[in-house]
Chains A and B, each alone.
Chain A
């Protein structure tokens, strides 16, 4: 518990220090990383805990962003007010879609969610009177707090840091509750989970809907930050990026979701020298990570910590991440 509070404080301190010290351009990247991190912490519920491979996460981010954009630009709502139906509506949509979709498993589910993402893009691009088609929706108002506008990269990053902190704490509480354990039990062994009284279908739908709610928050942040959205912002390539972020950082962990989101947002910038060959490098890097560190960066860090403990008798070894009550 103390360790998690420390991690949260460190996260906020580092984020705040960066917000005061880095360039305007890096601030913009940090904001994009923060928006991705919000979505990836959510994806962790579906993929990291419940083991549901979703390649449609970006569609839920898009749904949240479009609802907010439509309500603010066409109905004149404040972004704060519009965020509520955007987030709840996306969660509801995920429940309605999840009930039939989550009968599928493994790569069938992956393909079905990919199809969902593609369908979302087609609807967004062709329902022109509502979504503006491929021209998208522009002039989405930014947010302000107590009369202070959060325009500009720096104040927006402060808002994003607070949002991530709140959502990370919520995710951590859920992970360590009976609901989080039920999700992990379903991932590990569905039959055995049912045999302990867990409603497997309801647990999967809940994990899927929770992940969509986080994606919708990310969509709202994105719309309010960029002020403009179009179908391309939410195509399936982004869903694959979110999944990559989670795997690189370390699936099943909140810290991994954040680390992966920041790393994969900045990596293309750091490797700009590679030019066109960046994608080849990225592909090889993903391969190497999947083969040599399947538990991601966070998994690697905790493996590096372990040798120091191995001197203790087996029964006294401090529990691993999953074992802490």
Chain B
């Protein structure tokens, strides 16, 4: 079944058309990557999907329900989750409390159940030892892992990850990939990944959509995308213009 469906999404900022007639569908339990050069509209698309920006045209459905006009928190409660490009934690709360805020997204839990759920989420991510620390004491890599844990604690059915590997060292990227695989083995969860690290995208994604100048120029399996002429042109420039430089 289709868990997330966005159709004909356009987003105009004044004279700039940041997104033009973009269709995105994500099936239950699927791993989709969204790639494209800088400024292609990837983050704008995530903002539209999460309700931080409203689309100029187009409709969005989450688990079959229309959410085009829904507020961000209503979409999160309906099963959406997201992390940010640079990791946004609540700096005055501890690691455990940050994850408890995420866990509170699932209704009807007592404080004790919230804490137990948050500790379990942290343990699954191998972060149990960080629980009592203030988030200001975390390394950049751990901040991003805690943010991911917080999003997972909310029990999303679709998780949108905005460049989760940016700023991580190669060991941390390997760790992140292992965690993402483990998460998908444990939870029934679809993932939409925005990422510039092509090695990571090609190894994890089942399907890749490519954006350029606000349009979707290609979509397919990693193998098909790697040889798609439109994608090669977007990333490398066309033969003639490349030669002309």
A residues neighboring B (CB under 8 Å): 176-178, 181-182, 184-185, 187-189, 191-200, 252, 314-315, 317-320, 322-323, 325
Contacts and interface: CB of A to CB of B under 8 A. Distances in A.
Contacts of B92: 184, 187-188, 252, 322
A197 B76 contact: yes
Contact of B154 (A188, A197, A323): A197
B132 A181 contact: no
Chain B residues touching A, range: 35 or more
Contacts, number: 105
Given A182-B104, A196-B105, A197-B102, 18 more contacts: A177-B111, A181-B90, A184-B90, A188-B91, A192-B84, A194-B71, A196-B151, A196-B154, A198-B101, A252-B92, A315-B130, A317-B132, A317-B133, A318-B132, A319-B132, A322-B134, A323-B93, A323-B94
Contact of A181 (B50, B51, B104): B104
Contacts of A197: 73, 76-77, 102, 104-105, 154
B122 to A, nearest CB: 13
Given A178-B100, A184-B90, A315 B133 contact: yes
Nearest to B96: A325
B88 A194 contact: no
B130 to A, nearest CB: 7
B131 to A, nearest CB: 9
Contacts of A187: 92
A185 B90 contact: yes
Contacts of B81: 195
A317 B137 CA distance: 11
Contacts of A194: 51-52, 71-73, 76
B114 interface: yes
A170 to B, nearest CB: 15
Contact of A199 (B73, B101, B114, B132): B73
Contacts of B105: 196-197
A195 B82 contact: yes
B111 to A, nearest CB: 6
A176 B115 CA distance: 11
Contacts of B93: 181, 184-185, 188, 322-323
B76 A196 contact: yes
A95 B88 CA distance: 29
A252 B93 CA distance: 12
Nearest to B119: A325
Contacts of B51: 194
A196 B93 CA distance: 14
Contact of B114 (A178, A188, A317, A320): A178
Given A188-B93, A189-B90, A314-B137, A198 B73 contact: yes
B223 to A, nearest CB: 34
Contacts of B115: 325
B133 A178 contact: no
B101 to A, nearest CB: 5
B150 interface: yes
A319 B97 CA distance: 12
B88 A181 contact: no
Nearest to A178: B104
Contacts of B97: 181, 322-323, 325
Nearest to B95: A323
B89 interface: yes
Contacts of B154: 196-197
A194 B134 CA distance: 21
Nearest to A186: B90
Nearest to A318: B132
Contacts of A196: 76, 101-102, 104-105, 150-151, 154
A195 B82 CA distance: 7
Which 4 residue pairs spanning A and B have beta carbons closest together? Answer: A323-B94, A197-B105, A197-B76, A192-B88
A114 B228 CA distance: 61
A306 to B, nearest CB: 11
A314 to B, nearest CB: 7
Contacts of B77: 197
A200 B74 CA distance: 11
B89 to A, nearest CB: 7
B134 A200 contact: no
B101 A185 contact: yes
A319 B134 contact: yes
A188 B133 CA distance: 17
A2 to B, nearest CB: 17
Contact of A319 (B73, B94, B150): B94
B104 A320 contact: no
B174 to A, nearest CB: 23
A139 B82 CA distance: 59
B245 interface: no
Nearest to A176: B111
Contacts of A200: 73
B203 interface: no
Nearest to A200: B73
Contacts of B150: 196
21 contacts: A178-B101, A178-B111, A181-B104, A188-B93, A192-B89, A194-B71, A195-B50, A195-B82, A195-B88, A195-B151, A196-B101, A196-B105, A197-B104, A199-B73, A200-B73, A314-B137, A315-B129, A315-B130, A320-B94, A323-B93, A325-B115
